[in-house]
Structures are given as C-alpha cells and as structure tokens.
A and B are shown apart, each in its own frame.
Chain A
Amino acid sequence: MAHYNFDTEVNAKKHFITAMEVKYGKEWGSNKQADDIQATTAKYLRLGTAQNPRKMEMAKIGAEITKKRGLQAYDPLLHLAGIPLGQRQLTPYTLGGTDIVCDGDDLHYVNNAAMQQEWDDIRRTCVVGLDLAHETLEKRLGKEVTPESINYYLEVLNHAMPGAAIVQEHMVETHPAMVDDCYVKVFTGDDALKDELDPQFVIDVDKMFRPDHAAQIKASMGKASFQAVHIPTVVSRTADGGQTSRWMAMQVGMSFISAYHMCAGEAAVADLAFTAKHAGLIEMSEMLPARRARGPNEPGGLSFGHMCDIVQTSRKFRDDPCKIALETCAAAMMLYDQIWLGGYMSGGVGFTMYATAAYTNNTVDDNLYADTEHGWDTFGTSIGNCKEPTIDIIRDIGTWGALYGLELYENYPTALEDHFGGSQRATVISTATGAACAITTGNSNAGLSAWYLSMYLHKEAHGRLGFFGYDLQDQCGATNVFSYQSDEGLLAEMRGANYPNYAMNVGHQGGYTTVCTGGYTGRGDGFAINPLVKTCFADDLMNFDFVEVRECFGKGALREYDRCAGERAFVIPAK
C-alpha cells in the first residue's frame, strides 16, 4: 500500500479526484457504479445490501447468530420494515493520503482494531517525573542515585509495571503474555544523564526529533528527567483511564522500595507515592466534573493541545504542515467523535459518519492545501515565517477558504453526496480554513476565528449548516474566540472536549485540534503545548502508529493491523 505526501495544492486536487473516481466511477461489490463525478444526476438502482460483500457477510453471520442462540440478531431486512440500506449505491472510502480503499462499516471503531488501539494507547499512558523521587531518596533517605541505580530501577520497573511482584512473597502476578504491551521508558533534557542510561530504556530526543525540534524540546524540559509509562491495555480496558496513574504509582512505589532497598512501610514511601500519584504526574487528560462522571485519562478531558502532541507526524514531515494537520485531524476526529461523543456521551452508531468525512477521500486535504497555499502566497509567509494575525488576514483566509470549500461541493456533486450531511461539510470546510489561517499566522486562536467566519459564510451561502445543536457553538463562537477570561475563552490548545459550548456537539472537536496543529506547525515548532507529551509518544514501540494515523486506520479496516494489545486469546479456548 502506498501513501502520498501531497506537498502541493495540485497534488491534493489530483488525489481528491482519484478518490472520487474510485468511489463513484468504479464498481464496488456489485453496485453498478460508473458515474461521471461531476454529473448532477444519477441512476438509483436500489440494489439493497446485496450489492455489498461486507453487508452480505454481516447478514450471513447475523443469521448464524440468530440460529445459534435462538434469539433475533442482525438482519438488514429489519431496516425500515423491509427496505434495506443500499437504495442508493453503497460506495467505498479511500483513506486520506493513502491508496487504501475500504467499506464504511470497517471504519466504525468496533470493527477497526487500529482505532481501538489508538485510544487504548492514549488512555494507558502517563508521564511521571523522576527528579522529585530522586530528591526524596537522596535528601531524606541518604540513598545514592546514580545512572547505574537508575538503570537497575528501570529493569525492576519494567518487570513490575505489567503486574509482577517485586517485594512480597506468595503473590499472584499477571501473565507476561497478557501484558506484553506494557513498559516504561525515560527521557531527559540532560544529555550527560542520557548518555549514561541503558539505551533500551531511553527515548532519545536527539534521535527521534529533527535537530531544531530536539533543541526546542530539550530547552523546554531543561535538565529534568521523566518516565513514559504505558500500563497494559487489558488493564485500562477493564477499569478506566483513572486506573492508569493508580496502577503506575503502585508499581513505581514498589520498584523504588526494591531497587533502593527501602523499608516497605517507612513514611518516605508516602512521599514517593505522592510524587507518582500527584506531584510528578502528567495525565494525558484532566478529570472531568462530577456531572460527567469520568476520571482522568478519559477523552472528555483531553485538551486539543495534548492531542496535537500525541500525534507524531511532525517528527517526520516538518515541511508539510498540512500533512501533520491531516493526520492529527484523523486521530482527533476518530477519538472525539467516534469514541467520546459517539460512545461515552451519546451512544449509537451514526458518529462514524461525521468523522470519516474528515479523514477519507482526500477532501479536507484538497481544501487545506489550497487554503494554505492561498495564505502563504497572499501574505508571503512560510513555515517559521508567519504573519501576525489581524482581522484583515483572518477575514481574507476565512472567506477564501469558505468559498473554495463551498464551490468544491457545488462543482463535484459526488463529493456533496459523499458528505451527505451538512455537519460533515461544515466541519470539512471550517477545519481546512481554520487550519490554513493558523498555519499562515502561527496562531491557533486566529485559526479558530477563521473557522467561525467560515461557518457564518457557509450557513448564509447554502441556507443550512449542521443541526440545531451543531450550529449553536458556531453562531456564538466568534464572541469568545479571543477572550481569555475564565469560562469565556482560553488559548485554543488548552481548550478541550469539555470546554463550554464544545462539550456536546459532534464534528467540531477534531476540527479544533486540527486548527491547533496548524498553529505550531506553521511556526515550525516541535510541539504544540507540552514537550513531555510530544516526547512520550515519540516511541516506535507504541502499538498504534501515531505518525501515519490514516494508514493505520486503513490497515485496521482491511483487517491487516497486527499490533493489537489486550487480547484475551491466550487465556480462552482456541476457536
């Protein structure tokens, strides 16, 4: 499978058209599709689910389940009292930036192991400072902390973190085959310390990042050192995101006791525990208010800035800010829409349709490359050479991007049909417009402002936008976009899924994340808001590929993704 590095508006347009031709110009299954992608009429053959092999597979297995358990299961003819899906052509999706083509069903997170692993890998991760613990060991207990002692501690910790005993006798332990995705590495801005540590444990900032980004990240973290902890997927799936730091802190505490020959019950242990659980802890996401009833490391508390930094495309594609934004867009759309709003908050299956519009068929891609080239050409900007945002600049890019996006749908009726809901179209156009403005200005809030102008123009031009609730935040967002007053506004990177107005509406949160990505990539920076999060995920041992997000989703759709964790096959009867 290939993936594309578009680089330019022209290449993006070419691949958008190819995706439309694959979707509407070729048969998929037996859907008899062979249409001109710019025609305004089509034949509606009403072939039903029989046109689509995946639907037929689902129907066959649904019937088998019904027979086996003696209770009704999936049957496509139960749709609308006998009118099945497929009254129009059931068309495939090209994963953006790749040549992977798949069925829409295979992009539902339940059917896609890679999507699940993306969220698993975020939820099971936390960062823990080492320096506070070392101060406790040295100043309070008089222990000597050396590179050798740190290496030994990390050996112990990588034995213990998956759930192994390290101090007591006659303990049960987790089986290594069940928890092989769990490990701990360290990273630091202290080159002397890094050189002394066993390389197996180190995320080497100088190796994982481009020199300018590495220098920026190391300068930001100083001489401090941190642990990147990933607890077992099966653990965080069984409990919740709040389990991540608790599990980590227990194993960190026990490993210090063992590695530094401490008394298991002495009061200093409490200092180490407090450090691991609170003082030195960086969760991926904040705990939500009680009314949301979610612990930390659940998606509702994940800030857009952290989401930007979790995605790693910027390490390998620094000179293509659109590519970085598009991969981030996919990761964030999937997580915030399909899993957070679609799973945690609302339930139901429709949310996949919102998200896929943003990472399939190269439509956002085409918009974003065109909008960015307009911004760069008009204002003479480039990566690291941004123009301070003004109302005039935002008005220009916001208007240009909105009109370009609207006319794309008007010129390509198949694209309009692909994004059959206004919420999909509104997100696509505003995401591209907002991100392009952020890339040009290096300012995410300016990008948000262009987003809101784009929404206004879209609603006026087509006389429609999304649905009631979708439109609300876009009608009032302009009034808080530059406010930093509490409960009114915030730096865009620090806003998140639970930010006022953003909390309940599909299609927006991944787009806002994409806009934030435009800010830091436009400036040419190595991270969006948190160098520790960026570095923590700069690790090829992670199960999910946070560099090539869409390709990873595609492998999941094709049932070729083989980096799953948390599987129970080892402890259940073989089928």
Chain B
Amino acid sequence: MAYKPQYYAGNTIVAQNRRNHMSNNVQKVREISDEDLTACLGHRAPGSDYPSTHPPLAEMGEPDCPIRQIVTPTAGTAAGDRVRYVQWADSMYNAPAVPYWRSYHAAMNHRGVDPGTLSGRQVVEARERDMEAVAKEQMETDMTCPGLAGLRGATVHGHSCRLQEDGVMFDMIDRRRLEGDVIIQDKDQVGVPLDRKVNLGKPMTTAEANKKTTFYRVGNVAYRDDPEAIEWCQKVWELRTIYGYQPK
C-alpha cells in the first residue's frame, strides 16, 4: 500500500486511540490461557474438541466456483465449527473500548466475523475458533480493562451505571470482581458458575484509563475539545443531507 490509511479524524488522545483500535495498533498487556478463555466464554468444556456443524470443507466436495477460488476459508470455516459469540459490555467511565470501535476493530482486522453494535454491549459472532481469536486478542490487549469491561452474554446492564466504590463496573449477576489487586472471573458469559477463578489481570488506574479510552467525556477529553472530529461529522451529515435533497 502506497499510503498509510487515515481511519479517523481528530487531534486528541481519544481520536488517536480510535485509530489504534481500527488499525489493530494495540498492546498486549496480559496473558489469558486458552483453557481460561474457553471457560470464560462458556461455549464448550475447556480442553474439549470444537463441536462442528458440518464436515471439514476439504471433505465436502464443494463445487468449483470463482468465489471459492479467491476466498480462502477461515480456520473455523474450513473445520466446520459452529458459529458462537463473544459479547462485551464497556463502561462509559473511560473504558478503553466503546461498542462501535470494538466492531470496527473486529471487522477491519479479522475475517469471517459478524459484529453487532448496541449501546450497552457489543457482540461478535463467528466460527468458534475464529471468534476465540478475536476474543483472546481483545482480552489480552489494552483494548480492555477488566475492571471497566466484562464478558456478558446476557444481563448486560451496567455500562452506564455509576462505578462501584472499588472502581469496578456494576454487574447484576457478579460474574467478576476485584480480589486483591486483580479482577477474577468465576462465572461464564451468561452467569453459569465456573470451576475456577480466572485471573483477568489488574484493572487500569483512573489515569491509565483516561489515556487509553476511546470515549469522549467532560473531565477527560470532552468531545467539544476535538473540533476536527466534530467538523468531520458535521461534513458527513451535510453531504448526506444535500445529496438526498438534490434540488434540481
């Protein structure tokens, strides 16, 4: 590529973090084992084989076609994995990720993913091992603070709630909590108890979260303090409006 893509407007740290997420310029800050990842997701027993919905593609005798010639199947697709999900809730108190940027990160940096974006949660559905690759990357990097974000398949309430007194995002069903100086998780995405306590690592300090966040807010980086980001958004709105109007 002859040029470096400019994914997002803005001159603040928040805008830069957004560009980092889009271009996968994220830093690995913790280690999550495959077994712990599988336990937290709750789709299969840790260490068990991936269940499949069809035989490996190589054994299926698929018809020849131009699309198949140019698209290499993902690992999960080639193996016939089920489609499963990873879903996050991110606090509005300066969690590193926000739902749209989790979706952009997944869609721009991974193949075979189906991101869904809501206000209180963000889901990626994909073939199971492909989804796990996305989930592992998001869990292990500075895209995620375990105190300000959580894996939540259901009962996701909390992204907009005030933080607990210990600085952890509220979770109605208490899937993870601060123990000592680390966050542990002992229930899976939908709240089924685990046979282990998964160490998710240290939560970010307020100062760290303020530097890593992709969320504009007063008290840190207010949206109005990033005029380039606002003017770009206004321009998109104006062009769409005028194009739709087309007064001839």
Q: Mark B147-168, 1 if CB is under 8 A from A, else 0.
A: 0000000010101111111010
Q: Is the CB of B160 within 8 A of A419?
A: yes
Q: Which of B57-65, B72-80, B92-100 contacts A (4 or more CB under 8 A)?
A: B92-100
Query: Are A463 and B100 in contact, CB atoms less than 8 angstroms apart?
Result: yes
A-B pairs with beta carbons under 8 A, tally: 139
Of chain B, the residue at the smallest CB distance from A39 is: B162
> In the assembly, what is the distance between CA of A465 and CA of B162, in Å?
19
Interface of A is mostly: helix
- Bound-state CA distance A483–B247 (Å) is 9
CB contact between A417 and one of B117, B161, B242 (< 8 Å): that residue: B161
Interface residues on A, range: 35 or more
User: Smallest Cβ distance from B227 to chain A, in angstroms?
Assistant: 11
Q: Cβ of A478: which chain B residues have Cβ within 8 Å of it?
A: 237, 240-241, 244
A403-421 residues with Cβ-Cβ distance < 8 A to B are: 403, 406-407, 410-411, 413-414, 416-417, 419-421
CA distance A164 to B163 in the complex (A): 63
Most chain B CB neighbours (cut-off 10 Å) among A83, A478, A488: A478
Are B98 and A463 in contact, with the CB atoms below 8 A?
yes
**Which range contains the number of B residues in contact with the other chain?**
35 or more
Contacts of B246 in A (CB 8 A): 483
**Interface residue? B219 (CB, 8 A):** yes
Check A464–B117 contact: CB distance below 8 A: yes
Q: Name B165's contact: one of A42, A399, A461, A462 (CB within 8 Å).
A: A42
Residue-wise, chain B 231-245 has the 8 Å CB interface mask toward A (1 for contact) of 001101110111111
Name the interface residues of A440-483: CB closer than 8 Å to any CB of B. 449, 452-453, 456-457, 459-468, 471, 478-483
CB of B223 within 8 A of chain A?
yes
Q: Decide: A42 and B162 in contact? CB cutoff 8 A.
A: yes
Cα distance A87–B164 when bound, in Å? 12
Stretch in contact with the other chain, from B24-32, B137-145, B209-217:
B209-217
B-contacting residues, A473-498, CB 8 Å? 478-483, 488-489
* Complex: chain A residue closest to B213, CB-CB: A463
B155 to chain A, nearest CB (A): 6
B120 interfacial contact with A, CB 8 Å: yes
Task: Give chain A residues whose Cβ lies under 8 Å from the Cβ of B170.
Answer: 44, 88
Contact of B244 among A80, A466, A479 (CB under 8 A): A479
Residues of A contacting B117 in the complex (Cβ-Cβ under 8 angstroms): 464, 468, 471
Q: Which of B119, B155, B167, B243 contacts A479 (CB 8 A)?
A: B243
Contact partner, B101, options A83, A421, A463, A465, Cβ 8 Å: A463
| Residue A41 interfacial (CB < 8 Å) | yes
Q: Is A168 an interface residue (CB 8 A)?
A: no
> A430 at interface (Cβ–Cβ under 8 A)?
no
Closest to B239 in A: A478
Knowing A478-B240, A482-B244, say if A457 contacts B119 (CB, 8 Å). no
A1 to chain B, nearest CB (A): 30
**Closest beta carbon of chain B to A46's beta carbon, Å:** 8
**B240: which A residues are within 8 A, CB to CB?**
478-479
A80 touches B173 (CB 8 A): yes
Contact of A464 among B99, B157, B172, B223 (CB under 8 A): B99
CA distance A462 to B118 in the complex (A): 12
Q: How far is the CA of A279 from the CA of B230 in the complex (A)?
A: 52
One of B157, B162, B218 near A411 (C-beta < 8 A): B218
Measured CA separation A391–B241 after assembly (Å):
9
Interface residues of A (CB under 8 A from B): 39-44, 80, 83, 87-88, 391, 395, 398-399, 403, 406-407, 410-411, 413-414, 416-417, 419-423, 425-426, 449, 452-453, 456-457, 459-468, 471, 478-483, 488-489
List 17 extra interface pairs beyond A410-B218, A464-B118, A478-B237, CB under 8 A: A41-B163, A43-B165, A88-B170, A391-B242, A399-B230, A406-B223, A410-B217, A414-B162, A419-B160, A456-B233, A457-B230, A463-B99, A464-B98, A464-B100, A479-B240, A480-B244, A482-B245
